[in-house]
Amino acid sequence: MMLIHRPVAENTWCVYMVRCSDGTLYTGITKNLEKRIEAHNSGRDGARYTRSRRPVRLVYAKQAGSKTAAARLEYRIKKLKRSQKNELINRKGEV
């Protein structure tokens, strides 16, 4: 089941979080969310962190206006404590 809290238009920058098979969270940015999640779960272009933690499941996604905005939001999310990330996922809220 893919859970996206807000619709993400294709070919726009977005920030996403996936939950790995070991329960950890990975945060990234992309212009093509579906393709990126597929890459995380395949053997090729997924992040090094997720390669040994497959499968991953999308738990949060938020559209950003530009690559810069997406990178800033990603940075803010990565600085959150795990409990705060889980709150963000559960409440579908803002960072």
User: CATH for 14-91?
Assistant: 3.40.1440.10
Q: Which residues contact 7 (CB under 8 A, 6 or more apart)?
A: 63
Give the global pTM: 0.85
CB atoms within 10 A of CB 75: 13
Side-chain half-sphere CA neighbours of 91 within 13 A:
9
SS3 labels along 43-73: CCCCCHHHHCCCCCEEEEEEECCCHHHHHHH
Residue 36: per-residue pLDDT = 94
User: Has residue 22 got a pLDDT over 90?
Assistant: yes
Domain ranges for the chain, please list them.
14-91
- pLDDT bracket for residue 91 (50, 70, 90): confident
Q: Average the pLDDT over 62-70 and give the result.
A: 96
The tokens 């890459």 sit on which residue? 39
Flag whether pLDDT at 31 surpasses 60.
yes
In the chain, % of residues over pLDDT 70: 85
